Structure 1
C-alpha cells in the first residue's frame, strides 16, 4: 500500500492556504511548503507566506529554512520534502504539500533522479526560476540553440531532462549527458487538488493582493533586503522583489514597479495553470465568485474517498 500524500496546486491568490488548513483539520494533517520562495527567511509579504494566526495550530514545515543569501534547488527540496513526508507518516499524520512551484512538486511525487555528475546547484536554481517565469518552450529553445541534436531527443515538457542537459553543458562544456531516470509511477497514493477560477476574476484578485501587500509594507520588506546587501541571489529574483529592486536602483518609478509587479504576477498565474494542467493528474475545483467556502465540503469528500479507496 502506497503512503498517502495530498497535494494542493493552483495559481497564486486562488485560495490554496485556506484549503490546506481545512484538509489538515479534517484529516489530522500537517502542511509542507512547496513554494520555491517561501523557503527564504525575510521574504514574507511578497511571497504571501502564511501568517501565524492563519495556521490555526496546524504544524507547517519547510518555511524559512534558508537565508536570502543561500541558493535552494528542486534537488534540495526533494531531499527535504521526502524526509519530512516519511517523518509525518511515521507519526500517523497526513502530509499535505501546498504551493505553486510545479518542478518542486514533481521532483517529490515522481522521484526525479538528480545525479552528482556535472551538478551545479546555483545554475540549476536559475534554470528552475527561468522555466517558472517563461515556460518550458523558452527553456527548450535555449537547449535547441546549444545542441539541436540533443534538443530533438527531448520533449519541451520534459523539463527535468532539458534542465539536466543544460546543466551538464554549463558545468562541463560537453553536449553528452548520462541517461536520466525517474519513476514512471508516483511513489504515493497521490491526492492532487487543483483550484482555479475565472481568469478575469483571478487577475482582479492578484491586482488587489499586490495593493494589499504594498499597504502591509512590501516596499519596506524589500528595502531591508536591499540594505542588507542581498544582490543577484535566487531569492530576490522572485516576483515581488525584483520589480521593487528596479525601483530602489533608480530604474523606474514606484508606480511603474507596482504595475510591473501586477503584470508579472498575472503572467505567472497563467503559466502556473498551464503547467499543472499539462504536467499533473489533478482534480480541479472552480472557486469563481469567491466560492471557496462552498467547495470545501466537496474537496473534503474527494480526499476522504481517495483515502478510503486506498485503504480498502
Structure 2
C-alpha cells in the first residue's frame, strides 16, 4: 500500500464570472447523480491549464490529479507539476503526495480518488479529474461499480495533432532542462536504484542514468560527458513523443466506450502558433476554453437553466480523427 500525505495547492476562493442570467442553484441538489468533470489528453496538451480555468469559472471546484508520475513526491520539474502560483488558489488532490520509492497502483488511485471525490462533493464543490494516465481514469470509471451508480461523468478531450504536439514536446524538454531538470534528477541519482518502481519510472530519470554514472567517474572526460548528456536529452524527447502517441491511441479506444459523454476539443491551432513563437492565448481561449465552458454548463444544468447565449449555440461533439497507422506503430514502441 502506498504511503500518502495530504498536500494541496494553497486554497484561495476564486471569483466566479458566469454569463448573465445563469441560475446558480447548487447542481448537486438538483440531480439524482453527482457530477464529475474529467479532462483527458496526451502529455503536454494543456489538461492542467484547462482544469484550473474551469475550476475558477465553476467555483467552488477542486482538482484531482490523475497523472501516474505527478502523484509522487519530488521531481517537480521532471514530471511537469503545476506550481502553486499556477494553481490560482484551486485545491489540488493527489499531487506530489505519494512515497517516491513505492509503487502507486491503479487500485491505490481508485481508493484515494474515490475518497477525494466524496470529500469534494460533501463540501458542495465540483470535482474535476485531470491527468494523462488514462488507465487510472478507465479503472476508476469502468471498474468501480459504486462510481457508475452514483456519479455522472463529462469527459473533455484536449486533442492536438501529433506532429504539432511532438514539436511542442521537444521544445518543452529543452525548457525543462533549462529550468533544472538535470540537476533535479542528479540530486536523487542512485546507481543501485530500481527504475521500475516509484517516481524513478518517470521519463527523464532512466534516460540520464548513463550520463550521471559517467559524470561521477574520474576517468570520463568532458567531451564524453557532453555527448552522453546530448544523447540522454534526445532519448528524453523521443520517449515523451512515444508516450503521447500511446496515450492518444488509448484515448481513441476510450472514445468508442464513452462517445456519448466525451467531447473533443481541438487545440492544434493554438499549439501551432505557440511553436512558431506567436501569441496563442486568443486561439486557446476560443478553441478550447470557451467551448469547454459551454459543454460543462450544459452538463451541470438542465436546459431550462442555460442562458440563451449558450443554448442558442448547441455544443458540437466533434468526431475524432481515426488513429493513423503511424500512431499505432509509434505507440507500440518500447520505452
Give yes or no for TM over 0.5. Answer: yes
Tell whether 2:301 aligns with 1:308: yes
The Cα shift of 1:262 comes to 0.5
Tell whether 2:10 aligns with 1:30: no
The Cα shift of 1:198 comes to 1.9
User: Which residue of structure 2 lines up, in the alignment, with residue 199 of structure 1?
Assistant: 162
Residue deviations 1:271-291, cap 9 Å, x none? 111111102422110011213
Cα distance in structure 1, aligned partners of 2:97 and 2:208 = 23
TM alignment of 1:166-205, pairs within 5 A = 185=148, 187-205=150-168
> Which structure shows the higher helix fraction?
1
User: Which residue of structure 1 lines up, in the alignment, with residue 252 of structure 2?
Assistant: 277
TM alignment of 1:162-311, pairs within 5 A = 185=148, 187-227=150-190, 230-232=193-195, 233-250=197-214, 253-280=228-255, 281=258, 282-290=262-270, 291-294=283-286, 295-309=288-302
Number of aligned pairs? 243
Cα distance in structure 2, aligned partners of 1:20 and 1:71 = 26
Select 1:9's aligned residue among 40, 52, 56: 40
Cα distance in structure 2, aligned partners of 1:190 and 1:19 = 17
Tell whether 2:103 aligns with 1:71: yes
Tell whether 2:27 aligns with 1:52: no
User: Which residue of structure 2 lines up, in the alignment, with residue 119 of structure 1?
Assistant: none
Cα distance in structure 1, aligned partners of 2:304 and 2:175 = 44
TM-score (normalised: structure 1): 0.73
What is the alpha-carbon root mean square deviation over aligned residues? 2.2
Cα distance in structure 1, aligned partners of 2:83 and 2:212 = 27
- Give the SS at the match of 1:283: strand
User: Which residue of structure 1 lines up, in the alignment, with residue 331 of structure 2?
Assistant: none
Residue deviations 1:231-278, cap 9 Å, x none? 332321221222112322349711011111101100110111111110
5+ unaligned residues in a row in structure 2: which ranges? 1-31, 215-224, 271-282, 306-335
The answer to whether the 8 Å contact 2:72/2:198 transfers is no
User: Which residue of structure 1 lines up, in the alignment, with residue 142 of structure 2?
Assistant: 110
The answer to whether the 8 Å contact 1:10/1:276 transfers is yes
Cα distance in structure 1, aligned partners of 2:206 and 2:267 = 30
The answer to whether the 8 Å contact 2:106/2:139 transfers is yes
Cα distance in structure 1, aligned partners of 2:130 and 2:147 = 23
Cα distance in structure 2, aligned partners of 1:15 and 1:31 = 14
Q: Which structure is larger by alpha-carbon Rg, 1 or 2?
A: 2
- Give the SS at the match of 2:114: helix
The Cα shift of 1:225 comes to 1.2
The answer to whether the 8 Å contact 1:110/1:187 transfers is no
- Give the SS at the match of 1:86: helix
The Cα shift of 1:184 comes to 11
The Cα shift of 1:227 comes to 4.9
Cα distance in structure 2, aligned partners of 1:99 and 1:186 = 23
Query: Structure 1 pair 184/227, CA: closer, same or farther in 2 (3 Å)?
Result: closer
User: Which residue of structure 2 lines up, in the alignment, with residue 153 of structure 1?
Assistant: none
